[in-house]
């Protein structure tokens, strides 16, 4: 425990551009967690290279992700916002944990199968051992809690299994992390295929609203959103497109679904879509302005990166020294 607070750990991959779904579903709800927890938020650039990246663009996206963390309201003094690749303990602990992870456990990971299907020309070992690195991320900081969505549930389970296995052999080494179920974020679906989550890796750019999209782009994407042949703005399973737009509208405006349905009663889809776009623009504008301001202040961001990387490395190396000693590695004098 740090400062008598429980530790909470999470992060986002430095691939693609963050979407409105990332913000409303996760990032927005991270902002005030530091009041109750010691929070570590990683820019997960080591995970990102399981898919081929163009170096200059990758470097820019990783830095932009950290800046978006701050622009969205994560205080870089009260939270630890750092680059995964800047803390070498992640890679070292991942190797150690890999020696305590069974092939059968990795074979059962459904995300590997899904990603392998999407990237059949690049089924690499990193894609396969990805859950071990994720376990290292969490266990390095002795995390008590990890916010998990449906996609990460298996990863937390294998992390717990590895930690319990090592604790069973060597005693008290790792804190066993628990899933964090806080305030549920809005689940935002693709504007072009409302059966799928809005994703930063969606090949159809019209399916996602990115946090850095300008107002004209947001209006255009909302106007093109898939709906149905009906004309009633109503939340229903048989109206996934309209229901998704209602989720976006209410998450941005703070209104309830019944209030939104009543507001657009008798109004057409065109008027409704424009209202959705206006609410999204209103919510994103302050964040975008702060992102632009921070992006211009290179010295400030460089300082934040240096300070937070050092903080992350301090706690990570503290755990790593303990693990090295427990498993019998020769001490470094």
Q: Where in the chain is the domain with CATH 3.40.50.620?
A: 6-181+298-327
- For 6-181+298-327, which CATH class? alpha beta
Q: Model confidence over 114-163: pLDDT tens digits?
A: 776 776 777 888 888 999 999 999 999 999 999 877 667 888 999 999 99
What is the 3 state secondary structure string of the chain? CECCEEEEEEEEECCCCCEHHHHHHHHHHHCCHHHCEEEEEEEEHHHHCCCCCCHHHHHHHHHHHHHHHHHCCCCCCCCEEEEHHHCCHHHHHHHHHHCCCCHHHHHCCHHHHHHHHHCCCCCCHHHHHHHHHHHHHHHHCCCCEEECCHHHHHHHHHHHHHHHHHHHHHCCCCCCCEEECCCCCCCCECCCCCCCECCCCCCCHHHCCECCCCHHHHHHHHHCCCCCCCCCCCCCCCCHHHHHHHHHHHHHHCCCHHHHHHHCCCCCHHHHHHHHHHHHHHHHHHHHHHHHHHHHCHHHHHHHHHHHHHHHHHHHHHHHHHHHHHHCCCCCC
Per-residue pLDDT of the chain (333 residues; tens, 9 = 90+): 456 899 999 999 988 788 999 999 889 989 989 999 999 999 999 999 888 889 999 999 999 999 999 999 999 999 999 999 999 999 999 999 999 999 989 988 877 777 767 767 778 888 889 999 999 999 999 999 998 776 678 889 999 999 999 999 999 999 999 999 877 667 899 999 999 999 887 889 999 999 999 999 999 999 999 999 888 999 999 999 999 999 999 999 999 999 999 999 999 999 999 999 999 999 999 999 999 999 999 999 999 999 999 999 999 999 999 999 999 999 866
Q: Where in the chain is the domain with CATH 1.10.240.10?
A: 205-293
Q: Model confidence over 80-115: pLDDT tens digits?
A: 999 999 999 999 999 999 999 999 899 888 777 777
Active site residue ranges: 115, 197, 200
User: Which fold, 205-293?
Assistant: Tyrosyl-Transfer RNA Synthetase (1.10.240)
> Model pTM greater than 0.75?
yes
């Amino acid at each position: 425990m740090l400062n008598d607070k429980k530790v909470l750990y999470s992060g986002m991959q430095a691939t693609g551009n963050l979407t409105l779904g990332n913000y409303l579903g996760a990032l927005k709800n991270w902002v005030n967690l530091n009041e109750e927890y010691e929070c570590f938020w990683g820019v997960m650039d080591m995970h990102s290279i399981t898919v081929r990246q163009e170096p200059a663009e990758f470097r820019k996206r990783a830095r932009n992700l950290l800046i978006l963390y701050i622009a969205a309201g994560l205080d870089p003094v009260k939270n630890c916002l750092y680059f995964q690749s800047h803390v070498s303990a992640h890679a070292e602990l991942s190797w150690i944990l890999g020696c305590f992870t069974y092939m059968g456990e990795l074979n059962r990971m459904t995300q590997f199968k899904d990603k392998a299907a999407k990237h059949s020309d690049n089924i690499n070992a990193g894609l396969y051992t990805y859950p071990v690195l994720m376990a290292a991320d969490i266990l390095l900081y002795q995390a008590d809690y990890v916010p998990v969505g449906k996609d990460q549930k298996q990863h937390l389970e294998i992390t717990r299994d590895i930690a319990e296995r090592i604790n069973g052999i060597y005693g008290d080494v790792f804190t066993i992390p628990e899933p964090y179920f806080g305030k549920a974020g809005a689940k935002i679906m693709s504007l072009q295929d409302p059966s799928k989550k809005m994703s930063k890796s969606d090949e159809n750019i019209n399916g996602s609203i990115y946090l850095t999209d300008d107002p004209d782009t947001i209006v255009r994407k909302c106007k093109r959103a898939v709906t149905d042949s009906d004309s009633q703005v109503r939340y229903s399973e048989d109206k996934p497109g309209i229901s998704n737009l209602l989720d976006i509208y209410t998450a941005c405006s703070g209104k309830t679904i019944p209030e939104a349905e009543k507001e657009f009663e008798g109004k057409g889809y065109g008027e409704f879509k424009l209202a959705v776009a206006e609410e999204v623009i209103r919510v994103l504008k302050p964040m975008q302005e702060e992102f632009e301001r921070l992006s211009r202040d290179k010295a400030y961001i460089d300082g934040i990166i240096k300070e937070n990387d050092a903080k992350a490395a301090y706690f990570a190396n503290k755990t790593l020294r303990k693990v090295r000693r427990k498993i019998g590695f020769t001490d470094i004098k």
